[in-house]
Structure formats: C-alpha cells, structure tokens
Amino acid sequence: MKDFFCENGDVITKITIAAENPTINYTPDFVKAGIIVSVGHSNATYEVAKAAFHKGATFATHLHNAMSPISSGRAMGVVGAVLDSDVYTGIIVDGVHINYGNVRIDKKIKGDKLCIVTDSIAAAGAPPELESFTFVGKTIYIKEGRCYDANGTIAGASITMMESIKNAVEYVEIPLAEAIRMSNLYPARAIGVDDRLGSVEKGKIANLAVFTPNYQVIGTVVNGKWKEN
C-alpha cells in the first residue's frame, strides 16, 4: 500500500494515519512523494504523536475527535501534542463534536494553523424530511441535525461550511473575516495550494461563495463561472 500511495502522489493530496500505527514510519516517503500526512483517528500518547510530527506529519485530523484527549496534567494525548506543535489542524464547529469553548481555546493557541472543516456526510444541506441514510454499509440516523449510528455514536456531521462560519462568528466570537480565512486561506496553506487558491487575488482561481448578512449563500463562482443558488 505504501508503494501505491507513493506512486500516485500526484493525485493524492493528504492521508490520515494513527500515530501509533506502524505505517506512520513511512511518513518521510509519503512526504517525498508530495503527500501531506495528517495524524488522526489515534489513541497515541503525547510522546508518540510528537514523534509522528517529527517524522514529517504536518496536519491533525478534526482536533479533539477520534483522538486521545488531555486527560490530566500528566497525560496530554494527541490533543496535547497537536496544541504543542507547529502543525495545522482541522476543527468541526457544529457545537456537537466539541464544545465551542474548546474552539475558542484552540484558536488562541493555534492561531492561523486552525482550519474549519465540516466532516459532513450526506445529511449536510439535505431536506428536513431525511431521517436516515446508508453510509459505508451502515444506517445513519439524523436527529435534530445530528448524525448517529445505531449505537448512538456520532457518525459524521450534517453541517455546511457556511453554517460552520456562522457558528464561529456567533458562538466562538471569531471575526467574520478571520472565520472566512479559517475556511479557505489557512486550509489552502495547509495543503500547499495557496499560490492559486484560498484568497481573492489577481491570477488566482476564482472559486467564490456569495452570501447575505444572514449567511444565506445566494450564488457561487467556480473556476470563474457564476451560478446563482
């Protein structure tokens, strides 16, 4: 599998590996092939996660979710390693996956390395009458805008990026301009495409979303082509 990834580095942007998984030792090879390695879905200790970053991992997948937490002053887990390292990380701002207070703290620590992600699946933007759907062979149920499997475990998100930005502004008290940068410029930097994406500048690809003061998207520009919503 390692060889497959490396041979196709031109079409693979980023992969997530648990820091305690032996595959993390191939990080230098993946990076050499042009693939960004992210630490995530990991129950590693702080020390093991830090070692993964030293090997070349430069991102962490949805901070706080599916990763070992800071459980005491002695056990810092993957979360502690992320906050204590100069790496980018995504964060889900839906008020379900993590408390908004954590987002506020993380923003103070990570600054422009904190990226808004949705982690959304089929429920995002779906009509309210959708009550369930099948995802990777499992039935996922939607209740009050939240996605759960049959065991009650959170199974992805149902939030859109526009809703995420709104939450960042209204509940985390992040200025709108900064919340927008967290959803486009910083992620673009994280995957090395900020030379052509992530901001409105001459010579960059025109991928834009036009929205009202109430956060309603009224149109988009994709590759320079306008489409009304």
User: What residues are annotated to the active site?
Assistant: 119
**159 conformational bin, left if phi > 0, alpha if psi -120 to 50, beta if neither:** beta
> What is the distance between the alpha carbons of residues 81 and 89, in angstroms, rounded to a whole number?
11
Hey, CA dihedral for 5, 114, 72, 151, is it positive or negative?
Answer: negative
Given a contact cutoff of 8 angstroms between Cβ atoms, the answer to whether 57 and 38 are in contact is yes
> What is the distance between the alpha carbons of residues 225 and 152, in angstroms, rounded to a whole number?
42
Q: Which of 167, 166, 143, 165 is nearest to 154 (CA)?
A: 143
Locate 167 and state its tokens.
């939450």
Locate 66 and state its tokens.
């599916």
Locate 117 and state its tokens.
């992600």
Residues 6+ apart with CB under 8 A from 73: none
Longest dimension (CA), the chain: 53
* Phi and psi, residue 131, nearest 5°: -105, -25
Pairing of strands 59-60, 88-92: parallel
